[in-house]
Chain A
Amino acid sequence: MKQHDIKMMTPTTIGLIVVMAAGAFVAVYRLFRGLGAATNLNNLWPWGFWIGMDVLGGVAMAAGGFVIAGAVYILNWKKYKPIVRPAILNAFFGYVLAATAIFFDLGQSFRIWHPVVMWQVNSIMFIVAIHVVLYTTTLGAESSPMLFERLRMMGAYRFMNAIMVPIVLFGVLLSTLHQSSLGAVYLIIPSKLSPLWYSSKLPYLFLVSAVFMGLSMVSFETILSSRLFNHPLPVDILRGLARGSLIVAGFYFILKVWDLVAGPGIGAAFAGSFTSNMYLLEMVIGVMLPLVLLAMPKYRTGINSIFSVNLLVIVGVLINRMNVGIFGLAEYASRFGVDYFPSLMELILTAAFIAFAFFGFKVSAKYLNLFPETEH
């Protein structure tokens, strides 16, 4: 099989490798010296940037995998077949990185296997942990045909393809449960989380926003890799994804507003406080602007404008996750006089995770048959 015409040693790639090396140093330092030495976390900020950004954000970014896989393998929407592989690979990277982030964020990192063996079925953390393990494995299985193809292990390739539908079914099931259970984790802190985000519907909000993010992420990535690796743009697919995004955006908007009205009331969003401003930022960038733009056919069909909207949605949902994971808890922690700003090491490791995702995707694009249907 020919290697794709992608140059590896570009300045960008070297930059990515440098960031990853710095991240590796941080990882080793954290393992030997502990969380206290590597991060600015404390008793009132037990979870910080790594959870808010890497875990919650990373998992949400991975939602494209189950959305597209479900559409193609379960609903049999063949149109989206060409983007299944990149979408699943992206999800796999997202989950591997989220799992790695959890590993480094645990006080006792090497006990990460405990929930797999010692079941505490009454804990929401158990649900999250077991889903991460199962779904990451499933994603690995879903991505494996690409690797087998590359390694010319045709027996394994055919076997994996034969059992792909049940695997995907299982993956979709796990993923919906996992996306929503991440939201459910925050149900246990009603006194900490600002009512702008705390609600009994938090699991549903997490699931819907993850689907929203997933569609945008897949579309974003398809456009980006087409531009970077010079593939022809699958315009039809992108427009279809944009249409899907519009439907999800409308639903998500209604859900958010309903939640606000039924919860703290509309006035809470305009209180002018720190948290209300963060809420407005999230809503304007991540929900309202995309909704308005997608509602206009001109912008919903233009590739450049779809790309912009995708970026808005990704940024918006990331802010949502950081609002739930960090900023929504700020008033509670501040009341006790405790401050939090991520340490340099926390920022470096996060940067290294993102660099790893880009680098890994690039390597996969070069060596694996990532875009099978776009080659003619």
Chain B
Amino acid sequence: MKKVEHSMEEETICGFSRRDFLKFCSTMAVGMGLPLGTGAKIAEAVTTQKRPPVLWLSAQECTGCTETLLRTNHPTLDKLILELISLEYHETLLVGAGKQAEQWREKSMKEYKGKYILVVDGSIPVKDNGIYCKIAGKTALSLLGEMAQDAAAVIAIGSCASWGGIPSADPNPTGASPAHEVLKSKGIKTPVVNIPGCPPNPYNFLSTVLYFLTFKKLPELDDQARPKFAYGRIIHENCERRPHFDAGRFAIQFGDDGHRKGYCLYKLGCKGPETFNNCPIQLFNDVGSGAWPVGTGHPCFGCSEKGVGFTLPLHSPARPKYITPPSLFTEVFPHKEGVSSGTKALAAGVSGAAIGAAAAALVSGLGKKDGDSGNKEE
């Protein structure tokens, strides 16, 4: 028995050891909030099928979204693109160049028609027929239409492709538009998933891809076509600094006492209360707790939220969704004897009014004889 187990561990799947491979699949399943057993299904999907072809189109972007994929550890990018998926076309990572690259793109599109996943990063300039972004002499506008037409699904990675991002900031000289809007205007009905963020968390992207491979459908999406497993809650809800918010402990300035003690960054303009993302639980770069903007002491600026990131001033206070900050905060050091000041003030007011009314009643009522008030009696 022992011998059999040992030999199973030796076995490799897609270049992973069996143990690492199942660990990866289970992690992905848990990351999407799926039951643990789904890991086995994902493993099956990844091993039994031909590696899914992925074409990656870059438009007006900074390559941050590609960079974020390079930072993944489970799996590393080389494992991902060489053994899990079949990355057919990616301008940054292509071996070939020029005409050769374009030929390969066209060949893959023809070969995997209706089966490949198209990943778009960067916004699409639409002003002046999209002349502000060209690849191999073609505008990104026409390339997106051409490539999305035959794709099984489009994944718009990053804020630029999801809602416009930095290039769409006022005055938006190139008419930068998100992928789903361009497709809508072209009448292309290929389903689109948005993975906003600047950059987005790579595991949100990987989870979406694997979900699609395993279940042959897109994960549950919200009204902005973002997967709910990653963008279902505002950052504020899962933030490790949330107890400080509830208790009214805020950093007021960078480097002040509260800031150094790790208090809530709301008053420094943290946009966590209005930004939907899973940064506080997914974290970045696989280096452990605290590895996300708020964890390092900088307020969230809402990079993934349309109308927040690159739109609102960095340090203006957030407009909290769902919750209103209380006007009376809990004390910093509870477990005190006695009664807090606000309640005491209320009691003093009530007692004062009561004693006043009672005294007035006694003075005016008991001193007077009944005839005094001039009332008629029966």
Interface residues of A (CB under 8 A from B): 33-34, 36-37, 40, 42, 49, 226-227, 232-236, 273-275, 278, 281, 285, 289, 293, 299, 302-309, 311-312, 315-316, 318-319, 322, 326-327, 330-331, 333-343
Q: How far is the CA of A322 from the CA of B354 in the complex (A)?
A: 12
Interface residues of B (CB under 8 A from A): 247, 323-324, 326-347, 350-351, 354-355, 357-358, 361-362, 364-366, 368-370, 372-373, 375-378
Q: Is the CB of B377 within 8 A of A334?
A: no
Q: Is the CB of B362 within 8 A of A302?
A: no
Given contacts A285-B354, A302-B370, 4 further A-B contacts (CB under 8 A): A36-B324, A303-B375, A334-B343, A337-B334
Q: How far is the CA of A366 from the CA of B364 in the complex (A)?
A: 29
User: Across the interface, which residues of B come within 8 angstroms of A236, CB to CB?
Assistant: 378
Q: How far is the CA of A302 from the CA of B372 in the complex (A)?
A: 11
With A234-B378, A303-B375, A333-B340 as known contacts, state yes or no: A308 contacts B328, CB within 8 Å: no
Q: Is the CB of A305 within 8 A of B328?
A: no
User: Across the interface, which residues of B come within 8 angstroms of A273, CB to CB?
Assistant: 338
Q: Is the CB of A333 within 8 A of B365?
A: no
Q: Is the CB of A233 within 8 A of B377?
A: yes
Which residue on B lies nearest to A284, using beta carbons?
B358
With A274-B339, A289-B358, A315-B357 as known contacts, state yes or no: A326 contacts B346, CB within 8 Å: yes
Q: Is the CB of A335 within 8 A of B336?
A: yes
Q: Is the CB of A334 within 8 A of B340?
A: yes
Identify whether the interface residues of A are mostly helix, strand, loop, or mixed: helix
User: Across the interface, which residues of B come within 8 angstroms of A37, CB to CB?
Assistant: 324
Q: Is the CB of B343 within 8 A of A341?
A: yes
Of residues B337, B345, B358, which shows the largest number of chain A Cβ atoms within 10 Å of its Cβ?
B358
With A42-B328, A305-B365, A308-B365 as known contacts, state yes or no: A337 contacts B339, CB within 8 Å: no
Of residues B339, B345, B357, which shows the largest number of chain A Cβ atoms within 10 Å of its Cβ?
B339
With A302-B370, A303-B370, A305-B365 as known contacts, state yes or no: A334 contacts B354, CB within 8 Å: no
Q: Is the CB of A335 within 8 A of B334?
A: yes
Whole-angstrom distance from the CB of A325 to the nearest CB of chain B? 11
Whole-angstrom distance from the CB of A3 to the nearest CB of chain B? 21
Q: Is the CB of B347 within 8 A of A336?
A: no
User: Across the interface, which residues of B come within 8 angstroms of A337, CB to CB?
Assistant: 247, 330-336, 340
User: Across the interface, which residues of A come within 8 angstroms of B351, CB to CB?
Assistant: 278, 281, 319
Whole-angstrom distance from the CB of B248 to the nearest CB of chain A? 10
- Contact for A304 among B332, B339, B344, B366, CB less than 8 A: B366
- Contact for A235 among B361, B369, B377, CB less than 8 A: B377
Which residue on A lies nearest to B363, using beta carbons?
A308
With A232-B377, A285-B358, A336-B334 as known contacts, state yes or no: A308 contacts B343, CB within 8 Å: no
Whole-angstrom distance from the CB of A172 to the nearest CB of chain B? 28
Q: Is the CB of B373 within 8 A of A227?
A: yes
Q: Is the CB of A34 within 8 A of B324?
A: yes
Which residue on A lies nearest to B328, using beta carbons?
A339
Of residues B328, B332, B345, which shows the largest number of chain A Cβ atoms within 10 Å of its Cβ?
B328
Which residue on A lies nearest to B354, using beta carbons?
A315
Q: Is the CB of A226 within 8 A of B375?
A: yes
Q: How far is the CA of A309 from the CA of B361 in the complex (A)?
A: 8
Q: Is the CB of A338 within 8 A of B354?
A: no
Q: What are 20 inter-chain pairs, A to B, with CB distance below 8 A? A: A37-B324, A42-B330, A227-B373, A232-B376, A236-B378, A274-B339, A285-B355, A289-B358, A307-B361, A307-B365, A312-B358, A316-B354, A331-B338, A333-B340, A336-B334, A336-B335, A340-B340, A340-B343, A342-B346, A343-B327
User: Across the interface, which residues of B come within 8 angstroms of A338, CB to CB?
Assistant: 328, 330-331, 334, 340
Q: How far is the CA of A305 from the CA of B373 in the complex (A)?
A: 12
Q: Is the CB of A42 within 8 A of B362?
A: no
User: Across the interface, which residues of A come within 8 angstroms of B362, CB to CB?
Assistant: 289, 308, 312
- Contact for B364 among A232, A285, A308, A341, CB less than 8 A: A308
Q: Is the CB of B346 within 8 A of A299?
A: no
Q: How far is the CA of A343 from the CA of B324 in the complex (A)?
A: 14
Q: Is the CB of B340 within 8 A of A40?
A: no
Q: How far is the CA of A37 from the CA of B326 in the complex (A)?
A: 8
User: Across the interface, which residues of A come within 8 angstroms of B344, CB to CB?
Assistant: 274, 330
Q: How far is the CA of A334 from the CA of B342 in the complex (A)?
A: 10
Whole-angstrom distance from the CB of B88 to the nearest CB of chain A? 51
Q: How far is the CA of A306 from the CA of B362 in the complex (A)?
A: 10
User: Across the interface, which residues of B come within 8 angstroms of A235, CB to CB?
Assistant: 377-378
Q: Is the CB of A330 within 8 A of B339?
A: yes
Which 9 pairs between the two chains have the least Cβ-Cβ distance? A308-B365, A337-B334, A337-B331, A341-B342, A308-B361, A311-B361, A339-B342, A339-B340, A334-B340
Q: How far is the CA of A308 from the CA of B362 in the complex (A)?
A: 6
With A235-B378, A274-B339, A281-B354 as known contacts, state yes or no: A302 contacts B369, CB within 8 Å: yes
Q: Is the CB of B336 within 8 A of A334?
A: yes
Q: Is the CB of A341 within 8 A of B377?
A: no
Which residue on B lies nearest to A322, using beta carbons?
B350
Q: Is the CB of B345 within 8 A of A341?
A: yes
